[in-house]
Amino acid sequence: MEDINIGKKVETYRKSQGLSIRELANRAGITPSMLSQIERGLANPSIQTLKVLAKTLQVPTFSFLLEEVRTEELVVRSQHRKKMIMDDVSYELVSPDISGKLATAIMHFPPDSSSSEKLLDHQGEEVAYVIEGKIRISLEGEEYILESGDSVKIPSYMKHRWINDFNEKAAILFSVTPPSF
């Protein structure tokens, strides 16, 4: 984890609002010298000072504490997807990782395969979209056949199972929050 540059974030918000150091300092009730030191990383603001700066700049206090996002880490090239194979079913992670609140993957089902032996449930809410082929899904024991273009929402803790008892492979794009694999 890299150090979070709070001063740089204060400076970015200040400049985006067209404020000088002196103007923001006066509005926030701190000295221009202190604000300059914060922005240059020479002084660490107290929580109270952060709250005052956030209120003055009209941004959430926590926005100063968020880590920088490196945009190149958000892009996943198809040839670099993380893959996992469990029995006959394989998964390709479409999202960069499973560290956030949402993960998206593609499940690949060859003919005569299933996601599990029995109905399973998990914490995450899930939405799935059939990209290719057709698949049978069992939701709390009720079965539905989904074809290419069909989708389904699976609420948290709903018992379900994917079954490909057809003669063609199936590919399902799904997102789950929070991630649970």
Question: Per residue in 76-97, pLDDT tens?
Answer: 898 998 898 888 899 999 988 8
Q: Which tens digits make up the pLDDT trace of 132-162?
A: 999 999 999 999 999 999 999 999 999 999 9
The rounded distance, in Å, linking the Cα atoms of 78 and 150 is 23
CA atoms within 13 A on the CB side of 162: 29
Q: Is the pLDDT of residue 50 over 70?
A: yes
Task: Kindly report the average pLDDT of the chain as a whole number.
Answer: 91
Q: Mark out the alpha helices in the chain (DSSP H runs).
A: 6-16, 21-28, 32-39, 47-57
pLDDT at 1: 39
pLDDT at 62: 83
For 84-92, the CB contacts below 8 A with 24+ separation are 84/181, 87/113, 88/112, 88/113, 89/113, 89/114, 89/115, 89/162, 91/181
Question: Are 38 and 104 contacting, i.e. CB atoms less than 8 angstroms apart?
Answer: no
**Helical pair 21-28 and 32-39, crossing angle rounded to 10 deg:** 110
Q: Which tens digits make up the pLDDT trace of 5-28?
A: 889 999 999 999 999 999 999 999
pLDDT at 157: 94
